[in-house]
Structure 1
Amino acid sequence: MAFHEIRFPADLSFGSMGGPERRTEIVALTNGFEERNTPWAHSRRRYDAGVGLRSLDDMAALIAFFEARAGQLHGFRWKDWADYKSCAPSGVVAPGDQLIGTGDGLRVEFGLRKLYRSGAEGYLRPITKPVAGTVRIAVGGVERFEGQDYDIDHGSGVVVLHKAPMMEAPVTAGFEFDVPVRFDTDRIAVSVASFQAGDVPQVPVVELRL
């Protein structure tokens, strides 16, 4: 399966429904207690691309995008309007938003990631599809600049510093990002009459593991 580095039209994904999904295995014991475990280290997001459609032109754009991806065959980028920044949705991306590593004098490659924290617990989400032109990097609290101080692979989210940070120097990043997804169906069923009456098609989209 190939991945197409193209974003699903952001104006169509605006208003779509979706979010993270977890998988938990629960075993009920004979004493009334239960054991819980998960085979997934990371959550997986699902969306419905049909909810954001507002006109027949939107429908045509969706069908064109679907056909160009050959249904489920090829992955693509998706903007999750509820979660697409390294900072709060109302904030402005800054180079100190997320800690992505600590210097050891040797390491130069750091993968982008985002921390979701609640109380004493947290989840580190790998970010593999940063948006070009939005990434900001700092080392030891001093901002660095792309091309001059580091390079970034926008297809994997890996930052390569031109010089290894000193011991214990924090490497931080701010960025906007997309979610790597594919269509979770090979069929779109739509009627012009039902669409104009307010009945939009269901077009499931699911996050890809890359």
Structure 2
Amino acid sequence: MARKELPEINAGSMADIAFLLLIFFLVTTTMDVDSGISRKLSEKPPENYTPPVIKQKNILEINLNRNNEMLVEDERMEIEDLKQYTIDFLDNGGGVGKPTEYGPGTACDYCNGKKADDSSDHPNKAIISVQSDRGTSYGMYITVQNELLAAYTELRNRYAKKYIKGQYAGMSYDELLLLSGNDKENEALKAVIKKVKEAYPQIISDAEPTK
């Protein structure tokens, strides 16, 4: 009895389909992106450098222990209260600020704080010191940093909307940054963003972690 030969299978179309599926998954698959904090590290000070004298009231001390508990000015605080507490500290306006390129130090005429004697003199003098423990989780540290950055952003947004005039009047700081991303050569826009940053300069210090 003659043996019946089986027809050959054309694998060419299968290869095309596999290739198309590969392209499809490459295009549609999302990739996790590592998140982090944009921060410029301070440079090493020159030899014989004498650090300036800083009043204790101009420093907001935040401590994170190994149990991920947060102490602000030696008082236990929940993370959801940190942003507003930081805003109150930065925006206090209780004294005179540092001299700038525009002139000598003056009182903060744009601050809406209580002008308390035991809080910061001026936003350009306000320093936030964050000290963690070697056992503090990275997630807790990032959460605290995010709340601090959110406080600065809220104050900068308010300042930009109220005090920036002309072409960019009424725009928030976030909107100005978004606009600058699409127009990186715009010097006028850069000057406006610089002015907003100088109103509320971001001064966050990371102290040496405790053991």
Q: Could you tell me the TM-score, scaled by structure 2's length? A: 0.25
Q: Is the radius of gyration larger for structure 1 or structure 2?
A: 2
Task: Say which structure, 1 or 2, has more relative contact order (CA 8 Å, 6+ apart).
Answer: 1
Q: By percentage of residues, which structure has more helix?
A: 2
Q: Could you tell me the TM-score, scaled by structure 1's length? A: 0.25
